[in-house]
């Protein structure tokens, strides 16, 4: 495909904008345990709309805390324990 010399600069200068309405909340005690907390590994499945389910392993103090951390990271997703 032959393009004029200046067409690539037009493509490279394109700005893509998108907006995610449900931003996650991150930080110690919000999306992950606080340092030096006694934790175990928990397997979770994250179901985001329009995406394949994601299996993840998360350190947390309890299964309920692991689900809460995942919900804070992905507020619009459905989280279940594996």
| 3 state SS for 32-61 | ECCCCCCCEEEEEEEECCCCCCEEEEEEEC
Mean predicted confidence (pLDDT) in 63-76: 94
Question: To which residue do tokens 């067409």 refer?
Answer: 7
**Count of residues in the chain:** 82
12 domain-assigned: no
Q: Judge whether residue 1 has pLDDT over 80.
A: no
In a domain, 40, yes or no: yes
Q: Which residues contact 80 (CB under 8 A, 6 or more apart)?
A: 44, 45, 47, 67
Q: CA torsion sign, 14 to 19 to 55 to 35?
A: positive
pTM of the model: 0.70
Assigned domain for 9 exists: no
* Residue 18 included in any domain: no
The answer to whether residue 66 sits within a structural domain is yes
Residue 37: the pLDDT is: 93
Q: Which domain holds residue 57?
A: 25-81
Pairing state between β 54-60 and 78-81: unpaired
Q: What is the pLDDT of residue 2?
A: 58
Q: Which residue matches tokens 């459905």?
A: 78
pLDDT per position as a tens digit, 5-51: 555 555 555 555 555 555 778 888 888 999 999 999 999 999 999 99
Kindly state whether residue 73 falls inside one of the protein's structural domains: yes
Q: Is residue 53 part of a domain?
A: yes
Number of domains in the chain: 1
Q: Confirm whether 3 is domain-assigned.
A: no
């Amino acid at each position: 495909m032959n393009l004029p010399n200046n067409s690539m600069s037009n493509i490279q200068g394109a700005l893509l904008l998108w907006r995610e309405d449900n931003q996650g909340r991150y930080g110690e005690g919000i999306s992950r345990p606080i340092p030096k907390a006694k934790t175990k590994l928990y397997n979770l499945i994250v179901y985001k709309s329009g995406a394949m389910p994601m299996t993840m392993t998360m350190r947390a103090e309890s299964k309920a805390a692991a689900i809460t951390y995942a919900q804070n990271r992905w507020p619009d997703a459905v989280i279940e324990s594996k």
